Structure 1
Amino acid sequence: MMALLFALFIGLAIGSFLNVLIVRIPKGENVAFPPSHCPVCDNALKWWHNIPLLSWLLLRGRCAYCQSPISRLYPTVELLTGLLFLVLAMKLGLTAEWFITALVFSLLLALSVIDFEYYAVPDSLNFMALGLALLMPLFIFGWDWALGEMRDFSWYQHMLLTRFKDAAIMAFSFFALGLFVKFLIKKDALGEADIIIAGTMGAMLGFPLVLVAIYVSALLAIVPALFARGHMVPFVPFLALGTWITYIFSDTFLQWWNMLYA
C-alpha cells in the first residue's frame, strides 16, 4: 500500500512539472525561469501554492492574489499523471522499468495536451520520449547492477537491439505510409511528429502489440474525425491513448492474438 501511495505522489509531482512544459514549451519560454507565477497578475507563487492537486482544491481554483480562475487543465494533468504512475506501479512494481515507462507515458500525455491546444508537437519532448523508450534496457541494467541482481548481459543487449529494430520498422512504416497517402490525396497526412511517435510505440510495445495499438488508435480517432467535417484532428493523442490501452492490457491482447493466429 505504501509503495502505491509513493507511486501516486511521484506521479502528482511529475504532473505538476508537466504543466510547466505544456504551458511554456509551445511559447518558446524557459521551463525553469522565471519561477511559477500567475499569468494574470504576474505575482510569484509560494511553495504552498504549488502542491500538486491539493493547492488547486484549497484555493478553490483561483489565484491566491488576484482571484483569477486557474485552469482546470492543471489539476487534470496532475491527477492523470498520478494515476498513470499508480496503475503502472500495480502492473510493474517499483522498478526501473516502472519509472522509465511512466516517464514515457507522461511525455506522451504532455504531447497529447499540447497537440490538442496548439495543433503542434514539440520535437524536444517527442524525441525525449523516444530516447527513453529506446534506452530503457540501459536504465534497467543500471538498476539491476545497483541491486546486485544482474542478469546475463546478452539479455539487456537483446532487449536494446529489439527496441531499436521495432522502433525503426514502425517509424519507416509511418514515413512510407505518409508518402503514399500524400501521393493519393495531394497533401500531407502524417507529419514528422507522428513518425517519431510511431517509433516510440514500436520501442514500447514491440510486435505484434504495436499493430494492435495502431488499430485501437484508429478506432478511437474515427468518431472525432467524422464530426470534424474537414477541420484538423490531432492524431497524437489517439496514438498515445491507443499505446496506453494496449500496454496496460498487453497480456489480454497477446492471448487474443495467439488465439487468432495460433
Structure 2
Amino acid sequence: MIPDALITVFAALLGLLIGSFSNVLIWRLPRHESINFPPSHCPHCNHQLAPLDLVPVLSWVALRGKCRYCGAPISPRYPIIELITGIGYALLSVAFPASVIGWSLLGLCLLFTFLLVSSVIDTETYTIPDELTLPGAVIGLIFGVVNARSGGAAAAGLPVFEAALRGMLLGAGLLIVIDLFGSWVLRRFRERSYPEFPLGFQQIGVSLLAGAWLGVWWGVAAGVLSAVLNMALRRVLRVPEWLTLGGTLLSLAVAGSGSGIGPGLILMVQGSVAAAGGMALLCGVYWWLRPGEEDEDEQYDPSAMGFGDVKLAALIGAFLGWEKLLVAVVVAVFAGALLGVLQLLVWKENRLKFGPYLAIGAVVALLFGPRLIELYRSTFGL
C-alpha cells in the first residue's frame, strides 16, 4: 500500500494540475466557450500557449506575470487558484487519509474543485454555471456508491448512495423553499406575474404541498403532472400560491397541533422539502437543456434566492449528506452576515452572493461537521 505521506505529495501535484484546469473553467464557462477547443491561448493576442507556458505556478513566476508573446499582464489569479487547489487537495489527504477512505478521497477533492470554481465564477459574474452543479450533483451520487464500498468512508461520515440522494433532494429543497416563501413575501403575497411554461416555480409549489401528504416521489409526480397539463393545454394552468404555499403551511400547522391527521410533522416536513427539491432539480435540468437561446427581454418575478445556489446546495448535499448540508447552510448564513457587514464597511456594498458563503460552509461542514452536530445534540439533549 502506498504510504499516506506519498499520497499527500501526489494529491498536491494533482491539485496543481486540476487548479490549472480550473482556471480554464473559470474563464470559459461564463462565456459559454468550449473547454476543449481551442487549446489554451493568451486572451490578449490569441497565441497558442506552449507546454512550458502551462506549468502550474512556475510558468507564471518565470514569465514574471506577463505573456511570453505579447507582454500583456497575466492575472495573479491563475497561480493563486493553482496554489489553493494544490494546498486544498494536500490538506484533504491529511484529514481523510486514502488508507482509511480509499477512492472516496478523490470525491472530496472533486467537491473542493466544484466549490472553488463555483465561488470564483459567482463572485465575478453573479452566476453559477449549470455545467458545474448539475453534473457535480450526479458525481456526488456516484461517490455515494463508492463510499458504500469503503468502511472507512462510512466511518468518516461520508454518505452512501441513499443518504447522498436524500442530501441532494433536501439540499435543493431547503433553499428552494426559502426562495418560494421569500419571493412570496417580496411580492406582498401576490401571485406570480410571469409563470414559467411548461414547468417552473408553480410546479415546485405543487410538489411542496403534495410531498407533505404523499411523500417525496408522489410529490414530484404531482409537479410533473401539473407540467404535463400545461403542455396538453398549451398554456400555463395557474396553480395559485395561496393554495400551494398557504396549503403547505396549513398542513404543517395541523400536523403539529397533535390532531393525528397526516403522517406526522417531521415526515411531512421531510417529504415536502425533498419533493420540492426534486422538482426544482427537474426544472434546473429542463432550463439547462431546453432548446434555443434565452430571451434577454424575458421578465421575471422578484426572487429571494438565486437558483444557482439551489443547485449548488444539491451538489453539497450529495457529497456530504443532509446533516452536514444543514451545517453548511447555517455556517453560510453566519459567514454571510459577518463578511457582509465587513464589505459594507469597506466597499459600501455587499459584493458577494450567497454561493461563496455556501462553499465556505461546505468546507467547514466537511472538516468539523460531526463535531458541530455532536455539540448541538449534547447542548440541546437530542
TM-score by length of 2: 0.61
Question: After the TM superposition, which of the residue ranges 196-205 and 173-182 deviates more from structure 2?
Answer: 196-205
Match of 1:46?
Answer: 50
1:123 counterpart = 2:130: yes
Return the match for 2:372 from 248, 253, 257.
253
Return the match for 1:244 from 363, 366, 372.
363
1:25 counterpart = 2:14: no
**Distance (whole Å) between structure 1 residues aligned to residue 28 and residue 42 of structure 2:** 13
Match of 1:154?
Answer: none
Aligned length: 250
Asked if the contact 1:104–1:132 (Cα under 8 Å) also holds between the matched residues in 2, the reply is no
1:1-262 correspondence runs (5 A): 1-94=5-98, 95-140=102-147, 159-186=160-187, 187-226=302-341, 227=344, 233-262=352-381
Q: Which has the larger radius of gyration?
A: 2
Asked if the contact 1:170–1:199 (Cα under 8 Å) also holds between the matched residues in 2, the reply is yes
SS in 1 for 2:80: helix
The AA in structure 2 aligned to 1:3 is I
The AA in structure 1 aligned to 2:118 is L
**CA offsets 1:43-76 (integer angstroms, 9 cap, x no match):** 1111011011111111111111222110011111
**Distance (whole Å) between structure 2 residues aligned to residue 113 and residue 245 of structure 1:** 18
**Distance (whole Å) between structure 2 residues aligned to residue 195 and residue 243 of structure 1:** 14
SS in 2 for 1:67: coil
**Distance (whole Å) between structure 1 residues aligned to residue 375 and residue 350 of structure 2:** 36
**Distance (whole Å) between structure 2 residues aligned to residue 26 and residue 182 of structure 1:** 26
The AA in structure 1 aligned to 2:178 is L
Identity of aligned residues (%): 32
Change (3 A) 1:150 1:216: closer
Asked if the contact 1:107–1:126 (Cα under 8 Å) also holds between the matched residues in 2, the reply is yes
Cα shift at 1:246: 1.5
Asked if the contact 1:209–1:253 (Cα under 8 Å) also holds between the matched residues in 2, the reply is no
SS in 2 for 1:133: helix
**Distance (whole Å) between structure 2 residues aligned to residue 78 and residue 201 of structure 1:** 22
Match of 2:296?
Answer: none
**Distance (whole Å) between structure 1 residues aligned to residue 185 and residue 351 of structure 2:** 18
Cα shift at 1:139: 3.5
Match of 1:155?
Answer: none
RMSD: 2.1
The AA in structure 2 aligned to 1:33 is F
**CA offsets 1:215-235 (integer angstroms, 9 cap, x no match):** 111111114434176766411
Cα shift at 1:250: 2.7
Cα shift at 1:17: 0.4
**Distance (whole Å) between structure 2 residues aligned to residue 116 and residue 59 of structure 1:** 27
**CA offsets 1:141-189 (integer angstroms, 9 cap, x no match):** 6xx5xxxx899xxxxxx82111111221221121111010001123201
Question: After the TM superposition, which of the residue ranges 34-43 and 207-216 deviates more from structure 2?
Answer: 207-216
The AA in structure 1 aligned to 2:9 is L
Asked if the contact 2:147–2:160 (Cα under 8 Å) also holds between the matched residues in 1, the reply is no
Question: After the TM superposition, which of the residue ranges 172-181 and 247-256 deviates more from structure 2?
Answer: 247-256
Cα shift at 1:126: 1.1
Asked if the contact 1:114–1:120 (Cα under 8 Å) also holds between the matched residues in 2, the reply is yes
SS in 2 for 1:66: coil
SS in 1 for 2:160: helix
The AA in structure 1 aligned to 2:334 is L
TM-score by length of 1: 0.88
Cα shift at 1:40: 1.1
Q: Which has the higher contact order (CA 8 A, sep 6+)?
A: 2
The AA in structure 2 aligned to 1:203 is A
